[in-house]
Amino acid sequence: MFVTSEAFVLISVIIIFVLTIGLTVVMLKKYLKTQYLSLFYWSLGIIVFTFAVLLEIIMAANIFSRFLIDFYLFLVAILVNFLALGSFALFGNRKFLFYYNIYSIISIIFFIITLIIYPVGHIIIHHIVFGPLPLMIVISSSAITFPAAVLIIIIAAISYRKSKNAKLLSIIAGVLVVSTAGTLYIAAIPVFLYYAEFIGIVLLWVGFK
């Protein structure tokens, strides 16, 4: 494991936070202009991501509690879910979108229940969200994030094959990277969390500029 300084982590997440706020403004303006449903869900996802990064700043300063950690894990899960819903909306099949919304509601309720029942404990190490989670929380969060990530990849391939739009490819790549970034706190090198978040935001900026 790499030992990271508080200053490095704080600077990293503050930069990501500023970029994310700017991206949120850009995406909301595009949604208000076009009224595309995909942009609506993606905008919600990036707003959730902004709050998640804000919590990373707070926890990097060694300010945390069980509630903040649980809330962070919840935000990461629904972030991935919103990004997947945006990809579904881009695909244009409202029937699939409806069924996925039902699945999302059920899986999110299951995840909330497991967060309440199974205490996460202290997972802030070297100012980074990093550490093992209770098995049931891993299962319930994976029920949200794993299908979402798979669907994002599949829909990205189909959408790019149809449009051959380089900016769309950058957007989808950014969505995919951001959607997986929140799960990297269990990786052998947890600082990858911030690298992934930064790369994902840059890809989205390129796609939406």
- pLDDT tens figures, 151-198: 877 877 777 777 667 677 777 777 777 766 655 554 445 556 667 777
How many structural domains does the chain have? Answer: 1
- Establish if 181 belongs to a structural domain: yes
Which pLDDT value is given to residue 38?
Answer: 82
Please check whether residue 1 lies inside any domain of the structure: no
How crowded is residue 74: how many other Cβ atoms within 10 Å of its Cβ? 18
Report pLDDT digits (tens) over 60-112. Answer: 777 778 888 889 889 888 888 888 888 788 776 778 888 888 999 999 999 99
Output the pLDDT for position 111.
93
Asked if residue 10 is part of any domain, the answer here is yes
Asked if 208 and 26 count as a contact pair (C-beta separation under 8 A), the reply is yes
DSSP code at position 164 = -
List the domain range (segments joined by +) for residue 145.
6-208
Q: Is residue 49 part of a domain?
A: yes
Q: What is the pLDDT of residue 141?
A: 84
Sign of CA dihedral 137, 196, 9, 74: negative
In a domain, 64, yes or no: yes
